[in-house]
Amino acid sequence: MTTTTAPGKGTPLHTHSVHEYFYILDGTYEFRTRYEGVVETFRAASDSVVHVLPEVSHQYTNVGKRTARMLTLFTPAMSMQRFLEAVDALGTREGEPLALETPEHLAASGKGGEGTVCGG
């Protein structure tokens, strides 16, 4: 799926039970990962690829001054189907993108899915 992120926006710290790949199309994102108590922070700009392993807590933020875009891939894809259906069920007005910018939105979208919102 393609993700569009406004400057200063992103996701809360969360996990999935699948591999997640991010291909940065435009802009610069800052990623934060946490695994077994070790926190890493790094930046990824256009044409970068980031791979997050299953069960590794992660979040990202657009640190640029303009809207950023990335392609997000989950593998295996089928285990994410319920997560994406729940996101879709949150609904938007026609032509408006859904913004998962709060832990509440992400938690609501993960009901019955393969994602978990983590504490900060």
CB atoms within 10 A of CB 51: 10
pTM summary value: 0.69
Domain tally, the chain: 1
Q: Give the tens place of pLDDT for each residue, 65-103.
A: 999 999 999 888 755 666 666 656 655 444 444 444 444
Would you state the structure tokens that stand for residue 118, as one six-digit string? 């983590």
Quote the pLDDT of residue 83. Answer: 64
CB 12 within 8 A of CB 38: no
- Mean pLDDT taken over the chain: 79
CATH code: domain of residue 112: 2.60.120.10
- Nearest one of 50, 58, 54 to 118, comparing CA atoms: 58
Q: Which domain holds residue 61?
A: 2-117
pLDDT band at 106 (very low <50, low <70, confident <90, very high): very low
Which residue has better confidence, 114 or 56? Answer: 56
